[in-house]
Amino acid sequence: MLKHFAQYAKPRRLLPGIVFSLVCVLNASAADNGSPALVELVQRHAEAQRDFDQATLQAVTADNYVEVSPAGEVDSREKMLSFYAPDQKRAAPQLTVTEPLVRVLGDTAVVLARLNYTMGADAQARTFAMRASYVAQLKEGKWKLVSAQYTGIRPGKK
């Protein structure tokens, strides 16, 4: 048995494993570098929804994009885009995207973020928040969203 183990311990037998480990480490480093681009992608998407900017929504989503609305409805890309048609535009709340959490898995990424909204001003301001989950795919060197899901966050008790 030791004789068989010794043949695997030879340097030429270890080389493929070492190379594989280095490739995994380098890929993990490259994946971490995708985080700022993914956070920016989510920011652009959220702002485009707020601004009813169909051109940007089309640019940042893949053809097979699908989302689960805050009401729990499953909407195709076409339905989502029609909701944000310029003639549907209404007053939009202020928006901030916070608490991004990015997980890159090869050419796919999951981004969780908190979307904070403020409507009105001063004493009459109303705030609410949602947690959003996004799935992005890297194609031809460019990240595009393929999915989003929104969940309301209950306001804290006063």
Number of domains in the chain: 1
pLDDT at 86: 86
Which CATH number is 128's domain given?
Answer: 3.10.450.50
- Is there a domain that residue 8 lies in? no
Whole-number Å distance between alpha carbons of 90 and 95: 15
Residue 141: in which H helix or E strand, if any?
Answer: none
Contact between 149 and 68 under an 8 Å Cβ cutoff? The reply is yes
- The two tokens of residue 3 are 């004789």
Give every residue of the chain whose pLDDT is below 50, as ranges: 1-33
pLDDT at 126: 85
pLDDT at 11: 45
- Is there a domain that residue 42 lies in? yes
The closest of 84, 80, 138, 81 to 106, measured between CA atoms, is: 138
The predicted-structure confidence for 42-66, as pLDDT tens digits, reads as follows: 999 999 999 999 999 999 999 999 9
Three-state DSSP class for 53? Answer: coil
Question: Which domain range does residue 100 map to?
Answer: 34-153
